[in-house]
Amino acid sequence: MLLLPGAPDGQCTAVTRALSAASALCRVEPVGRWFEAFIKRRSRNVSASFQELEEKKELSEESEDEELQLEEFPMLKTLDPKDWKNQDHYAVLGLGHVRYRATQKQIKAAHKAMVLKHHPDKRKAAGEPIAEGENDYFTCITKAYEMLSDPVKRRAFNSIDPTFDNSVPSKSEAKDSFFEVFSPVFERNSRWSSKKNVPKLGDMHSSFEDVDAFYSFWYNFDSWREFSYLDEEEKEKAECRDERRWIEKQNRAARAQRKKEEMNRIRTLVDNAYSCDPRIKKFKEEEKAKKEAEKKAKMEAKRKEQEAKEKQRQAELEAARLAKEKEEEEVRQQALLAKKEKEIQKKAIKKERQKLRTSCKIEEVNEQIRKEKEEDEARMRQASKSTEKSTGGGGGGGKNWSEDDLQLLIKAVNLFPAGTNSRWEVIANYMNLHSTSGTKRTAKDVIGKAKSLQKLDPHQKDDINKKAFDKFKKEHGVVPQSDSAAPSERFEGPCTDSTPWTTEEQKLLEQALKTYPVNTPERWEKIAAAVPGRSKKDCMKRYKELVEMVKAKKAAQEQVMNAAKARK
């Protein structure tokens, strides 16, 4: 129960209304500077308020200021005020031992102390000679305070801190003491990081994740270091806008070059450390061992799988072998049954033959066979005589055909194959033109004789063709044979080559004749090379045949045209 305090002396207590029930307040979240204080308290496990933390910070800074001891710079009085840019501003103010860790209050206090000690009026009162104007070394103190009191200018000077060690250890230096050599170097260069909480190098017991995070951070290192303090020209001294732009351009190029060199230095540092880090070697060996183990396990699993497959295959082969043996056994049994049945049938046929031989007379059978042979021979002689009569008596028109005319007819049929326009008229005119007998043949005579030649006995046809070929070979040396004519129309005439020209070879020859004209050097060698399987002599003979065939066709067709015009 909630108890209220009692009334003071001389007063009374009165209740105006009943108290309401207690209610829970909603959760309040800190924001702004209170949120910052909350985070600091949580990280430090304290419950102090933001104001208390600020007060503690100020007290600590004041105590530091009180305890700060300035270091006297021995070369202060020898500094050239005109060369103030090359001086160490921290050393001038006596903060050489604190440097970039000095606070603004410390810088201010140091400057105040230096003014009280080195001001020209103080020294003049003490009887010390003073240089005129800005030639006194006190100007260096003023410039130092001007640079360090401005955060931008101080940052630029800190970037080129003359006391900073930019050296990078080589691989040979860290051969036996890697952590002792590289740990202070990374600690020293961490001051240039734009990101806070720079990871440490660690030790030999660091985990793979920590080492990987460390090298990932440094390989992607973001440096705030800039080199504007080293600008050779100051744009404020420019007389016009164009000159100022030119100075800015030159300064930007110089800064970019120095920035590039700085990043190369950091990259070299990280590369040297990574190549010498014994943990990397250990991790690689562990990874290699892990991969080897995985590979070995896979190979073992694969081997077991192959063994299982091989066993299954052997089982299948064994089952197939047994099935095949069973099938062969069944086939063998069926073959034995068939053989037995066949032997039974042979025995039955043998018995029947014996019965037939005893029942028939052998002499009568032989006589009958002899008579049949004589009749066949008589019929063959009669057919041979009729063929000789048809050959010698002429094919049509009652005109006799000599052996030369028959050979000339065979040649004309070969020269003008089926499909030639007015073929039989052309063949008749060709025979009339070349015949030595003086007998004029018509298309009807030629057709009739050609049909009678087709009915000849094959042996007689071969004799006629052979005689025609021998005569033509003596006169011309070549008898062309057209591929388009049927065998019955050519009377199977001989060809000069052992193998006839195919349609494809004919096309290749015609194309080669067009490709290599008459004035081409070594023309026939090139043409023979374009027609596979044919020599130079074959190509020349075929060309002569084609030329003779074309000439004969033209002459025969002209005679047909002239005869047609004469009839009109």
Please give the residue range of the domain that contains residue 127.
76-159
184 plus 272 within the same structural domain: yes
> What is the reported pLDDT for 1?
41
The Cα–Cα gap between 48 and 30 comes to 14
Extract the runs of DSSP E, i.e. beta strands, from 419-490: none
User: 511 near 435, Cβ under 8 Å?
Assistant: no
User: Does 386 score more than 70 pLDDT?
Assistant: no
| Same domain for 120 and 206 | no
Q: Cα dist. 123→37, 94, 109, 116, 119 in Å?
A: 49, 19, 20, 10, 6
Q: Is the pLDDT of residue 478 over 60?
A: no
Q: What is the CA radius of gyration of the chain?
A: 63
Is 190 in the same domain as 227? yes
**Coil, strand or helix at 193:** strand
* 321 has pLDDT over 70: yes
- Burial class, 152, CB count within 10 angstroms (exposed 0-12 / middle 13-18 / buried 19+): exposed
In a domain, residue 171? The reply is no
Q: Are 153 and 194 part of one and the same domain?
A: no
DSSP symbol at 223: B
Query: Does residue 71 fall inside a structural domain?
Result: no
DSSP 435: -
Mean pLDDT value across residues 316-343: 92
- Which tens digit of pLDDT belongs to each residue from 504-544? 888 888 888 888 888 888 889 889 988 888 898 889 888 88
pTM, rounded to two decimals: 0.42
CATH number at residue 121: 1.10.287.110
128 shares a domain with 87: yes
Considering its fold, how many domains does the chain have in total? 4
Q: Is a pLDDT exceeding 50 seen at residue 481?
A: no
Q: Between 262 and 397, name the one with better pLDDT.
A: 262
pLDDT greater than 50 at residue 33: yes
Same domain for 186 and 138: no
pLDDT in the model for residue 145: 92
% of the chain residues with pLDDT over 90 = 12
Q: What is the rounded CA–CA span in Å between residue 474 and residue 467? A: 11
**In this structure, is residue 239 part of a structural domain?**
yes
Establish if 323 belongs to a structural domain. Answer: no
For the segment 403-432, the average pLDDT, to the nearest whole number, is 78
Structural tokens at position 292: 């080897």
Burial 296-323 (b: 16+ CB within 10 A, else e): eeeeeeeeeeeeeeeeeeeeeeeeeeee
- Give the mean pLDDT of 154-161: 86
Residue 381 lies in a domain: no
Planar angle of CA 89, 93, 95, nearest 5 degrees: 90
In a domain, 306, yes or no: no
pLDDT of residue 166: 84
Helix residue ranges, H only, 220-240: none
Reduced 3-state DSSP string for 336-389: HHHHHHHHHHHHHHHHHHHHHHHHCCHHHHHHHHHHHHHHHHHHHHHHHHHHHH
Same domain, 151 and 238: no
Same domain, 250 and 199: yes
Examine the pLDDT at 312 and tell me if it is beyond 90: yes
pLDDT digits (tens, 9 = 90+) for 70-94: 888 888 888 888 888 888 888 888 8
Residue 561: pLDDT over 60? yes
How far is 394 from 398, CA to CA, in rounded Å? 6
Cα dihedral 271, 273, 278, 279, rounded to 10, equals -80
Question: How many residues does this entry show for the chain?
Answer: 568
Same domain, 228 and 149: no
SS (H, E, C) 111-135: HHHHHHHHCHHHHHHCCCCCCCHHH
What does the alpha-carbon distance between residue 386 and residue 379 come to, in Å, rounded to a whole number? 11
Would you state the pLDDT for residue 21?
A: 63
- Considering the domain boundaries, does residue 211 fall inside one? yes
pLDDT at 470: 64
112 and 194 together in one domain: no
At 293, the pLDDT band (50, 70, 90 cuts) reads: very high
The stretch 207-230 carries a mean pLDDT of 87
pLDDT, tens digit, 9 for 90 and up, residues 133-146 = 667 888 888 899 99
Domain stops at, among 230, 254, 276: 276
Q: Are residues 210 and 245 in the same domain?
A: yes
Residues 182 and 116 in one domain: no
Per the model's pLDDT, the better-predicted residue between 415 and 326 turns out to be 326
Assess if residue 188 is contained within a domain: yes
Residue 397 in contact with residue 442, Cβ under 8 Å? yes
> What tokens were used for 321?
């072998």
Segment 364-383, tens digit of pLDDT = 656 766 776 676 566 556 65
Whether 392 has a pLDDT exceeding 60, the answer reads no
Whole-angstrom distance, CA of residue 336 vs CA of residue 317: 28
Whether the per-residue pLDDT at 477 is higher than 60: the answer is no
Q: Please name the residue that has the structure tokens 């003073």.
A: 130
CA–chain centroid gap for 123, Å, is: 83
Residues contacting 155, CB < 8 A, separation 6+: 224, 226
